[in-house]
Amino acid sequence: MSPRIHAARLSLPVLALSLALFLALFLALFAMLGAGRAQAADGYRYWSFWQRGGDGHSWSYATQGPSSARPGDGDMIGFRYAVSEDSNDATRPRGMADFAAVCADTPATDGTKRIAVVIDFGTATDAPDRRTPPAPRTECARVGEDASAGEALAAVAKPLRYNSAALLCAVSGYPETGCGDKVSTSGDAHAAPKGDGGKADGGGSGPSAGLIGGLAAVVLLGAAAVWQARRRRV
């Protein structure tokens, strides 16, 4: 075998290993850049508004503001204070109380409607000062038949605070200051699990297990190519 052919055969496994290592480094860099973008995402600290039927099965993010939405008799409305990036990322109110439980001690009267109100002040993670906020609570608002969700909330959770754009800033005086403030979210900013009123699990900020496994496989393939080439030389 000529030295030129022998050198060419030897260079193939070296080239394969080099390509494998290059791909592994590229994927690792891509994963770190993606994690950095996730950590630098901006969110907003605000009161989100939710609705659900009297059966209390599941919350739906309200498509109207509390001043426009007009829930019917027997409906439930919820308000949750938390840091969220957008409506898809918003955190639901906690608890599974239904209308019957919330309004059991509030009798119906003519010309009025009863609305179950769930008020969730969030967690210390979402609080402006990182202190423990008031405990979540439920109230039964008995209001006029044409009352809005905002009027129902005002009936049971004064004082309310709004900004000039009609954004709900405070419920029962909480928080004392701020309104929809922009914040930088971090890896532990949303620790509540989805089943307990939290958002969908976003996972950790590092590379996924699948990506790590892929990197390992690429490196092993490169090493196997070198080992196979050495066997042929023996």
* Co-location of 18 and 99 in the same domain: no
What pLDDT score does 63 carry?
93
Residues 136 and 71 in one domain: yes
Is the pLDDT reported for residue 95 higher than 60?
A: yes
Averaged pLDDT, 176-189: 79
Tell whether 83 and 105 lie within a shared domain: yes
Q: Considering the domain boundaries, does residue 200 fall inside one? A: no
Question: Is 35 a member of any domain?
Answer: yes
| Separation of alpha carbons 118 and 11, rounded Å | 69
Question: Whole domain around residue 170: which residue ranges?
Answer: 42-184
Whether residue 211 is found in the same domain as residue 226: yes
**Residue 113 located in a structural domain:** yes
Residues 92, 125: one domain?
yes
The answer to whether the CB of 88 falls within 8 A of the CB of 124 is no
Q: What pLDDT is attached to residue 11?
A: 56
Token pair 């754009």 is found at 165
- Above 50 in pLDDT, residue 200? no
Q: Is residue 26, in this structure, part of any structural domain at all? A: yes
The per-residue pLDDT of the chain, averaged, comes to 77
Query: pLDDT tens digit string along 25-48?
Result: 555 555 554 544 444 568 999 999
Domain co-membership, 35 together with 85: no
pLDDT above 90 covers a percentage of the chain that reads: 53
Residue type, 83: V
Please tell me the predicted confidence (pLDDT) of residue 130: 92
* 107 pLDDT tier (thresholds 50, 70, 90): very high
Q: Average pLDDT of 140-152? A: 98
Residue-level pLDDT at 228:
60
- As a whole number of angstroms, the distance between CA 186 and CA 39 comes to 5
Q: Determine the residue type at 116.
A: A
Instruction: Tell me, rounded to whole angstroms, the distance of Cα 232 from its chain centroid.
Output: 55
User: Could you tell me if 22 and 117 lie in one domain?
Assistant: no
Q: Tell me the whole-structure pTM to 2 decimals.
A: 0.65
What is d(CA 212, CA 227) in angstroms, rounded to the nearest whole number? 23
Instruction: Say whether the peptide bond before residue 193 is cis (omega within 30 degrees of 0).
Output: no
- Which own/partner contact pairs does 56-62 have at CB distance under 8 Å and 24+ positions apart? 56/96, 56/97, 56/98, 56/99, 59/92, 59/93, 61/87, 61/90, 62/149
Residues 11 and 118 in one domain: no
